[in-house]
Structure 1
Amino acid sequence: MAAGSLKRRQSKRSISKPSIVMASRPSYQSFLTHRSTALLVSISLIFFVVLVSGISLNVLRRSPKYEVQSPMIYSIEVVNEFPHDPRAFTQVQESEFQSSVRKVALSTGKTEVLHKMDDSYFGEGLTLLGERLFQVTWLKKTGFIYDQDNLNEVKEFTHQMTDGWGLATDGKILYGSDGTSTLYQIDPETFIVTNKWVVRYQGDEVHNLNELEFINGEVWANVWMTDCIARISVRDGSVLGWVLLPTLRRKLLQEGKQIDVLNGIAWDSGKNRLFVTGKLWPKLYEIKVQPSKENYGDERIKQLCLREAITF
């Protein structure tokens, strides 16, 4: 998941299941500002695992069909709003990070369980597979596995992606992103890359793939520094459609909120609920996806959703 953006959540099993996980990375503006200095601007990233009964955001079993069909371009309708910690992404100087994995109550946003990560790691994408939470870290090939109930670290692993941004699962294998245009298929036992695709839309590469979520046979991905979610085929990496969400960020800005980019997707397969949020956003939104009433040509979509590759 990219810095300068918030990330995802995951689900839990007891009274309620751990459910939403979000992440973030330094904004591009901060990156450019501090690139010439000796200090590494670090980002405090907080992952949230929301306690909601029955929620399994990354599909652990085949879920009911999510009714979002053609056309390829979709807008959203807000169904519900939940509190979200607007301090979940802060910056500090020095060469260490301040990341944590949290389990919070969806309705109140209150933290139930917290695991503080070592300051040398910047926590990124997190997904629930079986009874374990798998997480990758930014600028490293190191990942961690946690117990889904108490968030205790169970194991450390090394993956083969160039970086760690997003992570999702279909209940059997892992899908990962490293901020490039590549979507990886990863064996959850060996962490070997078993397949990979360059994600393309109308022949153009979709760079800066960030937060991931597996929804009904597709991988949905935030494209960092945009208000777009790409729906990606796991057969060939092609973009099957776009979900456009500029209205959410625009409304928060109009309310005077100091926020950053959209970045965070969570899927409740049990109840067919979709959640999104963003970096420094004070709200988590439950949304419905619907065919857009506005006509978008390919060039307009490319302007909205495609960006030049960014390298840290």
Structure 2
Amino acid sequence: MRLAGLLLSAALCLGLVAPAAAAPAPVGGYQVVRAFAHDTAAFTEGLFYHDGFIFESTGLAGRSFIRKWSLETGAVEQERLIDSRYFGEGIVDWKNKLYELTWTNELGFIYDIDSFEAVGEFRYPGEGWALTRDDKRLMMSDGTSFIRFLDPETLKETGRIEVTDDGVPVRNLNELEWVKGELLANVWQTTRIARIDVKTGKVLGWIELAGLLKEAGVTGQRDDVLNGIAYDATGDRLFVTGKLWPKLFEIKLTAPSR
């Protein structure tokens, strides 16, 4: 067996035997568990679940806000409008703070998570699209195929990875969520969520959500695209929505078909 292995390695080096071809990541689906009402005026950019509430940020200049609202009743518990000079983007919580990106201003805002009072700002190069975190660092998308890692205390970049599927860069990475050791990312203007290994940048699998467009009563062909992922770790509940959608869905993932 050792000799056979050596011969195979030599053949590969000489180009006499082609290596096994890689393959695109498998595509899985979903089942709807429950639907909740969602504000159709919310141009969703950021979404996360925290202490029993949905925290959401929206875009569009003059219409951007951050909001805390109840899933069960839809009641808005806390809200802050963003200065009309800025197009709001993704948000994430860290300790007692909430961080928010803006699209093209290379400027982020820091708020007290309970009062939404502004307590600081931070800078970054390029565009800001989305934020999420694990227990050690923040992760940021900027519309490219790269994910940046940020120190949660200084907000400085500490590294980055390029996301690929079968060696091809996956661009337009948008809203992010950290779920069970994987990074989930909406791909802008598609109906798919990428499941990403943050050690390698490789897409482990895709979640195809095209069927949600009909259930939400949207076309997904204009501004009403899929965007927004939130995870309730305690209840093991995964939520998704889209820009200007009338519904937010709790879903269960299904395995790829073979």
Give the alignment's TM-score, normalised by structure 1: 0.66
Q: Does the aligned pair in 2 maintain the 1:263–1:276 contact within 8 Å?
A: yes
The match for 1:67 is none
The match for 1:87 is 41
1:230-249 to structure 2, matched below 5 A, reads: 230-249=194-213
Amino acid at match of 1:78: V
User: Which residue among 134, 137, 142 is the counterpart of 1:173?
Assistant: 137
> Alignment partner of 1:75: what SS?
strand
The whole-number CA distance in structure 2 between the counterparts of 1:164 and 1:97 is: 17
The whole-number CA distance in structure 2 between the counterparts of 1:185 and 1:106 is: 30
User: Which residue among 74, 77, 87 is the counterpart of 1:122?
Assistant: 87
The match for 2:185 is 221
Q: Does the aligned pair in 1 maintain the 2:26–2:206 contact within 8 Å?
A: yes
> Alignment partner of 2:177: what SS?
strand
The whole-number CA distance in structure 1 between the counterparts of 2:218 and 2:195 is: 28
Structure-2 change in CA distance of 1:281 and 1:254 (3 Å): closer
The match for 1:109 is 74
The match for 2:162 is 198
Structure-2 change in CA distance of 1:137 and 1:274 (3 Å): same
1:277 Cα shift? 0.2
The whole-number CA distance in structure 2 between the counterparts of 1:197 and 1:254 is: 33
Amino acid at match of 1:80: R
The match for 1:75 is 29
User: Which residue among 225, 228, 239 is the counterpart of 1:261?
Assistant: 225
1:86 Cα shift? 0.8
Q: Does the aligned pair in 2 maintain the 1:85–1:280 contact within 8 Å?
A: yes
Q: Does the aligned pair in 1 maintain the 2:218–2:224 contact within 8 Å?
A: no
Any idea what the Cα deviations from partners look like across 1:104-140, whole Å, max 9, x if unmatched? Answer: 1111212111111111111111111112111111112
> Does 2:54 match 1:100?
no
The whole-number CA distance in structure 2 between the counterparts of 1:107 and 1:181 is: 36
Amino acid at match of 1:110: A
> Does 2:119 match 1:154?
yes
Which structure exhibits the higher relative contact order, with contacts defined as CA atoms closer than 8 Å and separated by 6 or more residues?
1
What RMSD in Å do the two structures reach over aligned CA positions? 2.0
> Does 2:240 match 1:286?
no
Runs of 5+ consecutive residues of structure 2 not aligned to the other structure: 1-24, 45-59
Q: Does the aligned pair in 1 maintain the 2:39–2:244 contact within 8 Å?
A: yes
Give the alignment's TM-score, normalised by structure 2: 0.79
Greater per-residue strand proportion: 2
Q: Does the aligned pair in 2 maintain the 1:124–1:137 contact within 8 Å?
A: yes
